Amino acid sequence: MEHVREFRELINKISESKYETLKYLSEYLYNMNPRKISYLVIIMVFVSTFLVLFKPYLYSFRRNGIDYKGEEVMLPEPRLKGDMSVEEAIAKRRSIRHYKDKPLTLEQLSQLLWAAQGITDEKRKFRAAPSAGATYPFEIYVVVGNVKGLKQGIYHYDPFKHSLTLIKEGDYRKQLQAAALNQQWVGKAAVNIVLVAFYERTTRYYGERGYRYVYMEAGHIGQNIYLQATALGLGTVAVGAFHDEEVAKILETEGDPVYIFPVGVP
């Protein structure tokens, strides 16, 4: 019974952070009287450690996202082979801030969103950009202004269905431009792809270190958008200067906006 009591205390003290958990476990084992250690306690400790360390991977197949109720637009299937090599896209990638008043096609938008967060492994639900522990803390919002066959409005991207859900209709590019310190390329782009973070999806497993992982992931996603835009003959630029609360209010999201990628025809 004493072992059961000790194990219950151990479980109650296990933190959501794997680093704090490992620290506590090591101290627990160090201070334990060797004569009290039983095979049962050792096994339970190792099982608990395994679950804390690898839980994100064990549950990576679960749907991690937000469900919006609204008009849904199914996107064209993404192409897995293009006209430009990865090497050429890297060499040609530039930050482009000036766009023509020309629309994007739905196929182009589909390809950009797939490159950002699309599903690349149907069985395990892995996505196009790497994520710490497959926790996928980002939601993708699209401020649509000029896309053939698509209403102007703010949309949410669903990577599992490869679809867009309309949150609210209208042209919100100028409002987004104002929130982004009046950067004109935000207002003139055909679309703006906005990366919104939900930090707790990652920090619940990695503690304070998780914030760093979220920002790393933003970079992974951003580079994918850059390279895909380049391969499609489009232009984009990473925008990080904006008022967080104002952007979140425009998108009607509870998450934290991290990046805005205006995209247009250069």
Q: 29 and 123: one domain?
A: no
Q: What pLDDT does residue 60 have?
A: 44
Q: Count the helix, strand and coil residues of the chain and give each as a percent rounded to the nearest 5.
A: 45, 20, 35
Q: What pLDDT does residue 15 have?
A: 47
Q: What pLDDT does residue 59 have?
A: 45
**266 residues of the chain, pLDDT tens digit each:** 555 455 455 555 444 455 565 566 666 656 665 555 565 556 665 655 655 555 555 444 445 667 788 899 999 999 999 999 999 999 999 999 999 999 999 999 999 999 999 999 999 999 999 999 999 999 999 999 999 999 999 999 999 999 999 999 999 999 999 999 999 999 999 999 999 999 999 999 999 999 999 999 999 999 999 999 999 999 999 999 999 999 999 999 999 999 999 999 99
What domain count does the chain have?
2
In whole angstroms, how large is the CA radius of gyration of the chain?
22
- What are the tokens at 37? 């250690």
Helix (H) or strand (E) holding 263: strand 256-264
Q: 99 and 177: one domain?
A: yes
Cα dihedral angle (240, 196, 166, 111), rounded to 10 degrees?
70
Q: What pLDDT does residue 179 have?
A: 98
Residue 33 resides in a domain = yes
Q: What pLDDT does residue 68 have?
A: 80
Non-local CB neighbours of 135 within 8 Å, separated by 6+ positions: 56, 60, 64, 201, 202, 205, 210, 213
What CATH number corresponds to the domain at position 154? 3.40.109.10
Contact 150, 71 (CB under 8 A): no
- What are the tokens at 230? 């380049």
Helix (H) or strand (E) holding 2: helix 2-13
Q: 201 and 165: one domain?
A: yes
Q: What pLDDT does residue 163 have?
A: 98
Q: 40 and 79: one domain?
A: no
Question: Can you state the angle between helices 18-31 and 2-13, rounded to 10 degrees?
Answer: 150
Q: 195, 212, 213, 199: which is closest to 259 by C-alpha?
A: 195
Q: 11 and 109: one domain?
A: no
Q: 211 and 167: one domain?
A: yes
| pTM of structure | 0.80
What range does the domain containing 29 cover? 2-58
Question: What is the greatest pairwise CA distance in the chain?
Answer: 78
